Copies of this chain bind each other. A is one copy, B any other.
């Protein structure tokens, strides 16, 4: 705990490397935390995001065969016996091969057993488009799980949030799907030099990234940064945009969005991934069904195209919502 007297020393680290730091801090804090996945140990991870953990924590960090169904199921079984497993599913797209274990076993175990067990499993996955990995390695897979009660969904957009949310996710007693965006790996940020619980970020609390009064822009991960960029251009046009990053999609901090809408009465949701069945449409549905009267203009959903993620950089760049598009849509909405 940080008191008002001491200010903790901070160190700079990037989004890719802070993953190992957050894992190390939880492995060090709680002896029941264990970590498994493909090449996460000896090799230090396909993205070098877990380097040093095997050396430091030994058997509690395990390399696995290429067997995602077994990885997730093994994590669930270990959780039932008192461990607190973290499993890595390299690319979020691979959640497809273990979807049954995630959706039918992990999400439902506690409910089906009538609350006999807690299943404190965290599944880490590298998410999203923009790095030229093609249709099967670039999806925003968080949208596959919204209709499945029992899974908390975390989508950190900064180094500080990744650090604080991953530690909270591991401590959470419910299953958590934790999505790390590949295109943010180089992003820099600062975390305490020593493990420090005051840097934990609670699940279910949105961040007001930038305050504003004319329009509310809600975005996560890569899109959060484009929204901030757009807000700057909007400011230049005299438009004051409030940017909100929900940070966790389940549970979703609707209150913070509603509070903002009381000021702005205008909503723009920016979502990576096709529009149908995504968290953006879900948020717009929640706002319009529960807070219709708050809106002075139609809500706007800016999403990726309704296509798979194309490989060629020209195509992939066009597929992702751009800051300029957010700027123009928000400006149009304010002028509505």
Contact = CB atoms under 8 A, between A and B. Distances in A.
A61 to B, nearest CB: 26
B308 A149 contact: yes
B135 A111 contact: yes
A156 interface: no
A262 to B, nearest CB: 16
A260 B96 CA distance: 38
A108 B96 contact: no
A299 interface: yes
Contacts of A284: 281, 284-285, 288-289
Contacts of A112: 134-136, 308
A165 interface: no
Given A276-B250, A285-B301, A288-B288, A107 B147 contact: no
Contact of A276 (B93, B103, B146, B274): B146
B104 A274 contact: no
Contact of A103 (B96, B286, B292, B293): B96
Interface in A99-142: 99-101, 103-104, 107-108, 111-112, 134-136
B274 A277 contact: no
Contact of A104 (B136, B278, B285, B301): B136
Contact of A282 (B135, B277, B307): B277
Contact of A298 (B100, B145, B282, B289): B289
A246 interface: no
B282 A147 contact: no
Contacts of A288: 284-285, 288, 298-299
A273 interface: yes
Interface in A295-336: 295, 297-301, 306-308, 310
A279 interface: yes
A43 interface: no
A136 B250 CA distance: 21
A108 to B, nearest CB: 5
B143 A147 contact: yes
A147 B276 contact: yes
Interface in A244-302: 250, 273-282, 284-286, 288-290, 292-293, 295, 297-301
